[in-house]
A and B are shown apart, each in its own frame.
Chain A
Amino acid sequence: MNEVIAQRLANFQAGKADPIALIFFAIIVAGTLMITYWAARKTKTTSEFYAAGRSVTGFQNGLALAGDYMSAASFLGISGMVALRGYDGAIYAVGWLVGWPALMFLIAEPLRNLGKFTFADVVSSRLKNRPIRIASAVGGILVVLCYTIAQMVGAGKLIQLMFGMPYELAEILVGTVMLLYVLFGGMLATTWVQIIKAVLLLFGITILAGLVLFKFGFNPANLFGAVSDTYGFETMFKPGGFVTSPIEALSLGLALMFGLLGLPHILMRFFTVPDAKEARKSVAYATTFIGYFYLVIPIVGFGAAALVGQEFITGIDKGGNMAAPILAAALGGKPFLGFIAAVAFATILAVVAGLTLAASSAMSHDIYVSVFKKGQATEAEQVKVARIATVVFGVAAVALGILFKNQNVAFLVGLAFAIAASANFPALLLSITWKKFSTRGAVWSIIAGAVSASLCILFSPVIWVNIFGFEKAIFPLKNPAIVSMSIAFLAAYIGSVTAPEPESQEKFEQEKIRTYLGVGAE
């Protein structure tokens, strides 16, 4: 049995395009482009372009949300982290799930009832439209941009490793296919690409974990025993440097939990379902799929450590990102490696497509139509501007992906979550729940949150010490959320108290019928 694995590992060569992988890859791309062709005929109005005509069911949206969230970074990154660092990887995985229940309890239903295409619609619904639009669109674009750069750089490296394609070509390929989905199929095509990818990914990790457990008599305890025997019990199962002090733990936990509630590409999915009830159902399905995903991922990681070996994994990629694909090759041979590689590729395409759509809606719907045109634009003009914004962002994503080629971009995901939790989330929550929230409060909160989160990260050990090489960090915590979120809420309070708006307080009361009963929701 183990000879087969050794034989397959000996055959494994990174950077060599495997014909089976290429066939799977071609099938996935062809299939998704056919969906785009079908969706393109249904996508003519702005509501269809941004919100799939609000025709998505709760179950479908749950899968699409899970697809948006289960990025290649989680699939490859966390399984690799578990394979190399053991239990610490699992602690990280938990944090990615706990935002979902919070999203459900706090904002899912009111968000759906109050919103149209973007979360800025909700924040600005009862306040002065223009300043808020600009602030929240900028906050949203910042988050999406950080997230996109991290995805694009990760994607380029992954494709380079798996298909042996040059990095720049990989970037352009991802950019082109993704642009085709968004440009022609809009939200409907993007949603279906996400659904397909989520199903393939869940199917893939189930098979992978099943094959691992099969080797250990379907008992995880045997797997953990084998891992301990090889690498030492304490090394793999004792929590290490990931969570150091309680305050560091609290700050990281807050960023992961509430960052989700400020991610524009996740929030905009809630406008694709017909009503609040379907929005609620979509979170329940998404939480189910994502919870399952994070329960299974450590089995894949520990399996890779036990069956492939850490040395082999780090020999292919130092960060351990190839642990899952190598494990697939070891357990299922080339066809399975081909399948997993293609799924990882589809994952990147789908996530970048979702991000691009979110950025383009902020640029066209929030900035161009609402601020420059003051809401006076025809349907045809709005769709045209949305498509131009899509191309602009897509080209920028490819260019930035190439520019950041040799940078360590892991901190960008942390930055995206910290800004989302500090700039977008407080303003969104307060606009739904706090009567006295005013325009100045909202603008101050978004700016204070974004600026303080960015500065704290710049001065944190992660950048100030590790990247700039200074001896001591100015800001002591690795994650700024506990400080920057407090600043954002404080700024919201001071701004709202110093510039109260009686008319928006009156509007808040009137709007309740829409917030809670869904009467008048679009």
Chain B
Amino acid sequence: MNAHEIVNSDRFKKLVRKRWTFSYIMLAILFVVYFGYLFLISLDKEQMIHLVTPNITLGIALFVAVIVIAWVLTIIYVLWANSSYDKEVEELKKMLK
């Protein structure tokens, strides 16, 4: 197959669609987590000083949670891309000869 045929193949189109679906789902989760955090703070500041454990406020716990979730989302994307996306890319590249 030449480049033109690859780009028009169903397999390639499916790969592109899959890539963006996955990306946008991850971005949506990130949005919910980060903007949810900011909205909670802006709407109810009293809630943030509620103690989760002695001396640790809900605000501190959420601070740690948002950073950890953002990092985990990044790692999930890499694991997904390394296993699922790259394999498909390699096979499509092999077809291009």
Contacts and interface: CB of A to CB of B under 8 A. Distances in A.
Interface of A: 87, 90-91, 93-95, 97-98, 100-102, 104-106, 109, 220-222, 224-225, 228, 233-234, 237-239, 243-246, 248-250, 252-253, 257, 277, 280-281, 283-284, 287-288, 291, 294-295, 298, 433, 509-510, 512-513, 516-519
Interface in B79-97: 81-82, 86, 89, 92-93, 96
B41 A101 contact: no
Contacts of A298: 63
Contacts of A291: 67-68, 70-71
Given A104-B77, A284-B78, A517 B92 contact: yes
Nearest to A512: B7
Contact of B70 (A98, A244, A248): A98
A91 B89 contact: no
Contact of B77 (A105, A253, A288, A509): A105
Contact of B56 (A221, A244, A295): A221
26 contacts: A94-B63, A98-B34, A98-B66, A100-B74, A101-B70, A101-B71, A101-B73, A101-B74, A109-B81, A220-B56, A221-B56, A237-B57, A243-B41, A249-B38, A277-B81, A280-B78, A284-B75, A433-B20, A512-B16, A513-B6, A516-B12, A516-B15, A516-B16, A516-B89, A517-B89, A517-B93
Contacts, number: 151
Interface in B5-53: 6-7, 12, 15-16, 19-20, 23-24, 26-27, 30, 34-35, 37-39, 41-43, 45-46, 48-49, 53
A279 to B, nearest CB: 11
B47 to A, nearest CB: 10
Contact of A90 (B63, B82, B92): B63
A519 B90 CA distance: 11
B97 to A, nearest CB: 11
A512 B89 CA distance: 12
A119 B58 CA distance: 40
Contacts of B46: 238
Given A97-B67, A105-B27, A517-B92, A238 B7 contact: no
A85 B61 CA distance: 18
Q: Tell me the dominant secondary structure on chain A's binding face.
A: helix
Contacts of B54: 221, 225
Given A100-B70, A234-B49, A277-B86, A106 B59 contact: no
A238 B70 contact: no
A105 B23 contact: yes
Nearest to A513: B3
A90 B77 contact: no
Given A94-B63, A101-B70, A512-B12, A238 B45 contact: yes
Contacts of B57: 87, 224, 237
A244 B45 CA distance: 10
Contacts of A98: 30, 34, 66, 70
Contacts of A221: 53-56
B11 to A, nearest CB: 12
A243 B48 contact: no
Contacts of B35: 249-250, 253
Contacts of B75: 284
Nearest to B24: A105
B86 to A, nearest CB: 7
B49 A238 contact: yes
Contacts of A91: 38, 41, 63
B49 A237 contact: yes
Contacts of B96: 513, 517, 519
Nearest to A228: B55
Given A239-B48, A298-B63, A516 B43 contact: no
A257 to B, nearest CB: 7
Nearest to B33: A98
A135 to B, nearest CB: 26
A246 B55 contact: no
B8 to A, nearest CB: 8
A402 to B, nearest CB: 38
Contacts of A234: 49
A253 B23 contact: no
Given A106-B23, A283-B74, A295 B67 contact: yes
A283 B76 CA distance: 12
A228 B51 CA distance: 13
Contacts of B55: 221-222, 224-225, 228
A294 B34 CA distance: 15
